[in-house]
């Protein structure tokens, strides 16, 4: 695919450095002159910040201990992990959770919530002669049985389930159709949600995260709008993946035209959130919570390690100002190749945090106790985010065209 050009000016290689102001020195000052036009009150959005990593975790994996060590160092609050259907039910009606359940319990022992992705297909459930684990079942009831069994097994330990992953990328995750099948997915989601809610009425069931932009697939808006009312009626949340055109190569604020030959051009993060809320509202669910179950940039092409860290941090901050609390960064480790897919990690293969991982770790410290977030008006340009916590303590951080970093400050 064609990569996007590095955007000119404002948001290339700028840094939002994390450096908390520990003390403010009070000095006598003249009595201020009242401002005849006081600043408007920020538009605060209530949030419960949830920093997460998208990474399937199995206790039988050779790097399980290393994974848990990195999880502890990051200080994350949840992990999106996938007990794959074909792995836990290789034979119809016979479930084996033995490689996933100990991993879930290890996460819970560290205070990390498993945010469980239920996916994908199962070869025995499809009549397609070419079926592999990414073909959906012929009968949604087969998938629902797996979903209900998971909810029954993990009741009291797992509270959030996401159904499928990037189902609009059918060529990878909902074969064989290029853009998946929104109607068929809606039917599968409704069946799975009913099974989960019956097994565990306290559990939340979220519509699986779609890839936002349309490229040679249809985008999230078009896919979700065609999904059908039964799915929307049963959903407790809507997940999405706010990647820029793939492979991601521009920052979350970028509004320039894309040179990719397909799609409608880049949509900045705040615009994605607004447009998805419009789709949900049109479906009769205007207050449906949004969660981000994958986001990030690879250190690849024009994107270096500093940009990967900066842009991830700014995504979380901007998203919080729009009321989106959960942010699952992709992913825990780098892979073994130099390709884009293997350069998203918060840690290298030896478990050493990348700048991205360090930034997420430090951001988590600032987000502890945060109850609300707001995007502040900056007439001169740039961005400023305010985070409000207990006792109305407010932290702010700014970034913009000025290359001088502006770190955290108390107000």
Structure confidence by residue, pLDDT tens digits, 178-229: 999 999 999 999 999 999 999 999 999 999 999 999 988 999 999 999 999 9
What homologous superfamily is domain 48-369 in, according to CATH? Glycosidases (3.20.20.80)
Structure confidence by residue, pLDDT tens digits, 75-131: 999 999 999 999 999 999 999 999 999 999 999 999 999 999 999 999 999 999 999
Q: Kindly report whether the global pTM for this prediction surpasses the value 0.85.
A: yes
166 pLDDT band, cuts 50/70/90, is very high
Structure tokens at 32: 């201020």
Q: Cα(first)–Cα(last) distance of the chain, in Å?
A: 45
Structure tokens at 378: 């900056």
CA 11 to chain centre: 22
Instruction: Tell which wins on pLDDT, 237 or 264.
Output: 237
Q: Quick one: which of 403, 410, 406 has its CA closest to 388? A: 410
Q: Are 126 and 135 in contact (CB under 8 A)?
A: yes
| Range 362-373 average pLDDT | 97
Structure confidence by residue, pLDDT tens digits, 140-161: 999 999 999 999 999 999 999 9
Structure tokens at 303: 């994107």
Q: Are 125 and 143 in contact (CB under 8 A)?
A: yes
Residues written for the chain: 411
Instruction: Tell which wins on pLDDT, 2 or 105.
Output: 105
């Amino acid at each position: 695919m064609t990569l996007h050009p590095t955007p000119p000016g404002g948001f290339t290689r700028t840094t939002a450095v994390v450096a908390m102001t520990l003390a403010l020195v009070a000095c006598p000052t003249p009595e201020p002159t009242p401002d005849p036009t006081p600043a408007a009150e920020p538009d605060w959005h209530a949030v419960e910040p949830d920093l997460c990593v998208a990474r399937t975790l199995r206790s039988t994996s050779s790097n399980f201990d290393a994974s848990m060590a990195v999880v502890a160092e990051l200080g994350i609050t949840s992990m999106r992990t996938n007990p794959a259907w074909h792995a836990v039910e290789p034979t119809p009606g016979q479930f084996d959770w033995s490689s996933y359940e100990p991993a879930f319990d290890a996460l819970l022992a560290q205070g990390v919530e498993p945010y469980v992705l239920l996916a994908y297909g199962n070869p025995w459930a499809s009549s397609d002669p070419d079926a592999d684990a990414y073909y959906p079942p012929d009968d949604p009831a087969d998938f629902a049985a797996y979903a209900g069994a998971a909810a029954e097994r993990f009741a009291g330990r797992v509270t959030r389930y996401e159904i499928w992953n990037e189902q609009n990328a059918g060529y990878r995750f909902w074969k064989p159709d290029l853009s998946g099948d929104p109607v068929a997915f809606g039917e599968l989601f409704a069946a799975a949600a009913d099974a989960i809610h019956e097994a565990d009425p306290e559990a939340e069931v979220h519509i699986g995260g779609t890839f936002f932009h349309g490229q040679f697939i249809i985008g999230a808006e078009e896919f979700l709008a065609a999904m059908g009312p039964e799915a929307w009626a049963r959903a407790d949340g809507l997940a999405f993946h706010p990647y820029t055109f793939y492979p991601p190569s521009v920052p979350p604020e970028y509004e320039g035209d894309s040179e990719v030959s397909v799609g409608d051009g880049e949509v900045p993060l705040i615009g994605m959130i607004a447009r998805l809320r419009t789709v949900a509202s049109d479906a009769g669910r205007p207050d449906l919570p949004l969660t981000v179950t994958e986001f990030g940039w690879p250190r690849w092409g024009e994107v270096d390690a500093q940009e990967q860290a900066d842009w991830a941090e700014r995504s979380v901050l901007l998203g919080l100002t729009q009321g989106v609390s959960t942010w699952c960064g992709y992913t825990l480790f780098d892979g073994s190749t130099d390709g884009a897919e293997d350069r998203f990690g918060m840690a290298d293969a030896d478990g050493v945090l990348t700048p991205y991982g360090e930034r997420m770790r430090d951001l988590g410290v600032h987000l502890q106790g945060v109850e609300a977030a707001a995007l502040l008006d900056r007439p001169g340009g740039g961005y400023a985010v305010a985070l409000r916590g207990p006792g109305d303590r407010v932290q702010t951080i700014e970034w913009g065209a000025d290359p001088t970093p502006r770190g955290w400050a108390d107000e």
